[in-house]
Amino acid sequence: MLRPSSSRVAVRAVHRLTLPRALHPGAWWLWALCMAVAASRTRNPVLLVLILAVTGFVVAARRSDAPWAYSFTAFLKLGLLVIGIRVVLQALLSTRSQGTTVLFTLPQLPLPDWAAGVKLGGEVTAEALVTALYDGGQLAVMLCCVGAANALASPRRLLKSLPAALYEMGVACVVALTFAPQLVTDGRRIRAARRLRGRTRASFRTTAMPVLEGALDRSVELAAAMDSRGYGRTAHAPRAQRRLTALCVLLGLLGILLGVYALLTDSMSFPLAGGALAIGVLLAVGAMAVGRQRVARTRYRPDPWALPEWLVVAAGAVAAGAMVTAAVRGVHGLLLDGPLVVPPVPLLPVVGVLIGLVPALAAPPLKKAVA
């Protein structure tokens, strides 16, 4: 056992920014979600590119050598695919009312009378394409923020930190949290196997299904292995306590989902969205505090939550807060006056997004061995 003095030294050591260790995965996810919230409040391409550059720089500075660390590249390609699909659909379905600058004309297909107001083909305007490019870019940047969380946070360490009140949903959580990293791992494995066989080109049809099937199978196998080793076993508790905990968890998660969706889509006013999110967080935290008493297992080498974690989360919160504040105050530049205008560069959102670079310095360096 460690002596009390050694224990206090170890506790103080985790607060050092230069101590090589893996950052808590929850801190990376909170930072990435805050950056996604910041991206959801603007369609300014300058700010969107800045958010993408900030997340990419942090990933390049603090990712490990683990297979899931290459998730950011996969999400970046997915974002480019989303932008392409959005632009193509806009070109096929756009109308003359969306702009007057006609770039080219596609063959137009006649539609029945019940589809009045919808066209397929015809004139394609520059305003419609640029609007589709900005909208698709916003979604692509949000996807890249989620990819940054997958690249920086170990899915297995994240499962170790899962709150006790969510253990009943352990299998679903394991599959959900490990599917994307396993997808990247299987993709790299299949490409390496094809190169060894001398096949440098692979079609999407012969690669997509093995990758998807392998990632899902590995996630389910991991969930079954964790269940066989006692993951999610809870101690006896009164039925009323179990039902109250489950109800609070459900209501809390619904409130969090509603608040996050409202913040990302701007479908509700900020006070209502913030209130729903705050109530959901309070209910979820209360239920998790009660559900923690039902867990009879110990945790081997729990991940610490120290000063670097707080700095990383605070950096993301400042970036999201600056963007939300600018949107509430109506700062000029978050939303463009028109698609064919020079995007302005508002000062407050730019400073807030640049503060999102703090994790590149505040997160501790990684050890040589992957945790």
pLDDT in tens, 26-45: 899 999 999 998 998 888 99
Burial of 51 (0-12, 13-18, 19+ CB in 10 A): buried
Q: Give the H/E segment covering residue 249.
A: helix 239-265
Residue 187 inside a domain? The answer is no
pLDDT score at 119: 74
> Exposed e or buried b for every residue in 23-44, given b needs 16+ CB within 10 A?
bbbbbbbbbbbbbbbbbbbbbb
Please tell me the distance from the alpha carbon of residue 171 to that of residue 222, in angstroms, as a whole number.
Answer: 9
Residue 336 inside a domain? The answer is yes
In terms of domains, do 312 and 244 share one?
no
Q: Give the H/E segment covering residue 125.
A: strand 120-125
pLDDT in tens, 233-264: 555 566 776 677 777 777 777 877 777 777 66
In terms of domains, do 247 and 273 share one?
yes
Residue 246 inside a domain? The answer is yes
Residue 6 inside a domain? The answer is no
In terms of domains, do 262 and 343 share one?
no
In terms of domains, do 290 and 332 share one?
no
Please tell me the distance from the alpha carbon of residue 249 to that of residue 81, in angstroms, as a whole number.
Answer: 36
pLDDT score at 51: 95
How many helices (DSSP H) and strands (DSSP E) are in the chain?
A: 13, 2
Locus of tokens 């959005």: 86
In terms of domains, do 22 and 102 share one?
yes
pLDDT in tens, 288-334: 666 655 555 555 567 788 888 999 999 999 999 999 888 888 888 88
**From the CB of residue 291, how many other CB atoms can be counted at a distance below 10 Å?**
24
Which of 295, 326, 341 delimits the end of a domain? 295
In terms of domains, do 40 and 112 share one?
yes
| Cα separations in angstroms, 181 against 55, 156, 198, 302 | 18, 10, 26, 22
What are the two backbone dihedrals, phi and then psi, of residue 369, each rounded to the nearest 5 degrees? -85, 140
pLDDT score at 357: 93
In terms of domains, do 145 and 259 share one?
no
Whole domain around residue 249: which residue ranges?
240-295
Q: Which residues of the chain fall short of a pLDDT of 70?
A: 1-12, 95-98, 115-118, 161-177, 199-206, 223, 226-238, 241-242, 263-268, 270, 287-301, 367-371
In terms of domains, do 149 and 34 share one?
yes
**From the CB of residue 60, how many other CB atoms can be counted at a distance below 10 Å?**
11
Please tell me the distance from the alpha carbon of residue 130 to that of residue 185, in angstroms, as a whole number.
Answer: 35
In terms of domains, do 108 and 49 share one?
yes
Residue 339 inside a domain? The answer is yes
Number of domains the chain contains: 2
Which of 295, 317, 332 delimits the end of a domain? 295
With the C-alpha atoms ordered 233, 237, 240, 241, is the resulting torsion angle positive or negative? negative
